[in-house]
Amino acid sequence: MMAITAAHVARAPRIRLGMVGGGRGAFIGAVHRIAARLDDQFELVAGAFSSDPEKSAASAADLGVARSYGSFAEMAAREARRKDGIEAVAIVTPNHMHAPVAMEFLKRGIHVICDKPLTATLPEAKKLAKAAEASGVVFALTHNYTGYPMIRQAKELVASGALGDIRLVNVEYIQDWLAEPVEATGQKQADWRTDPARSGAGGSTGDIGTHAFNLANFVSGLTLESLAADLQAFVPGRRVDDNGHVLMRYEGGARGMLWCSQVASGQENGLRLRIYGTKAGIEWEQENPNYLWVSPLGAPKYRLTRGGPGSGEAAGRVTRIPSGHPEGYLEGFANIYAEAARAIIARRDGVAVDEAVTFPGLKEGLEGVAFVDACVRSSKKNGAWTKLAL
């Protein structure tokens, strides 16, 4: 068994962090704050937690944050002028605000940690990616499932050739929280996620389908060539899809299937990945994230555990506690923040980033938005095979 290593960087001054969005009643803002604190590499010092100055100030008071702003533009301008201004900003707004918020901070050289998807539309994504690359800052996208240790283990196994040539990729992300028209009740999360003006054209495809697509790409290392999508809005009156079935053709000949649904009754957070090659297959599910199943061709199936025998270096470097003690969603999210911290501190110190540092960024963000765009276009053409418009 390899030694357990903590997911932390050598002690350095904490990164001064700001946050846009994530005020009272916001789910994902609290998750980001927990993730940023877990390895003690960030200090939240400023925020535009709401576009309403009073609400923003109230949230700042709740959190003990000294500097509160009523708009992200004011925050970007004023923080950039301070000697003790923020070094990085976490963007935890609805999708349609990701691009305008990021642009304000990018042009001032402030690092960005953005919730997924990258933007609500593909033209916005391309414009933002170009601006971010030109700025030279660290840009991290919180596809948090790539931070799970056994997902890192799975990626390492595929890259090592243990599965042989990849033939099949099957990924699903299924929930039931939108099985009824809860947006009509004023539920905050459902309200914006089912509004195409704020979420983008994809509903379940943009919200959770992008996670599934990203995870399949991350582990398999494959590049999607084309897809055929069949999207539905099962709940009457819903303006975005709440279910999607996608066939995928990868470069090199591999084939894949992706199912995303937010109307699968009885399902909570069923993210599951299966990959099969010429030598072996692997299987992982998010609701039991500390286990990775390996099925060698012609040999008994076996289980690898996080921190246990056979767990490799890639998993070990993002593992905090011994095997048998569950790690999951919050720790996976924190691993993305820890990896981003390593990159930001390296920029601060003028040194190269460790090659082992891995986190989703602009490439993955652009691919995710292009995936949603292609799914919507394909479904409108009765499932026609469609290429990503990258």
Judge contact between 222 and 169, C-beta under 8 A.
yes
pLDDT grade for 99, boundaries at 50, 70 and 90: very high
Q: How far is CA 107 from CA 89, 110, 201, 275, 335, in A?
A: 13, 8, 28, 41, 27
Question: What local confidence, expressed as pLDDT, does residue 4 receive?
Answer: 37
Query: What is the b/e burial string over 290-319, where b = at least 16 CB atoms within 10 angstroms of the residue's CB?
Result: bebbbeeeeeeeeebbbbbeebbebbbbbb
pLDDT grade for 60, boundaries at 50, 70 and 90: very high
pLDDT grade for 10, boundaries at 50, 70 and 90: low
pLDDT grade for 12, boundaries at 50, 70 and 90: confident
pLDDT grade for 25, boundaries at 50, 70 and 90: confident
Q: What is the mean pLDDT of residues 193-200?
A: 97
Burial of 289 (0-12, 13-18, 19+ CB in 10 A): buried
pLDDT grade for 3, boundaries at 50, 70 and 90: very low
The chain-wide mean pLDDT, for the chain, equals 96
The DSSP 8-state label assigned to residue 69 in this structure reads -
Question: What local confidence, expressed as pLDDT, does residue 1 receive?
Answer: 33
Cα dihedral sign, 33-34-40-41: negative
Judge contact between 229 and 177, C-beta under 8 A.
no
Q: What is the mean pLDDT of residues 208-228?
A: 98
Judge contact between 147 and 336, C-beta under 8 A.
yes
**Nearest to 204, CA basis, from 43, 227, 196:** 196
**At a CB cut-off of 8 Å and minimum separation 6, what does 224 contact?**
213, 217, 248, 249, 250, 251, 256, 367, 371, 388
Question: What local confidence, expressed as pLDDT, does residue 2 receive?
Answer: 36
Whole-angstrom Cα distance, residue 138 to residue 106? Answer: 10
Q: What is the mean pLDDT of residues 105-127?
A: 98
Q: Decide: pTM greater than 0.85.
A: yes
Is residue 126 predicted with pLDDT exceeding 50? Answer: yes
Structure tokens, 307: 């921190």
pLDDT grade for 11, boundaries at 50, 70 and 90: low
Is residue 290 predicted with pLDDT exceeding 50? Answer: yes
Question: What local confidence, expressed as pLDDT, does residue 264 receive?
Answer: 98
Q: What is the mean pLDDT of residues 254-282?
A: 98
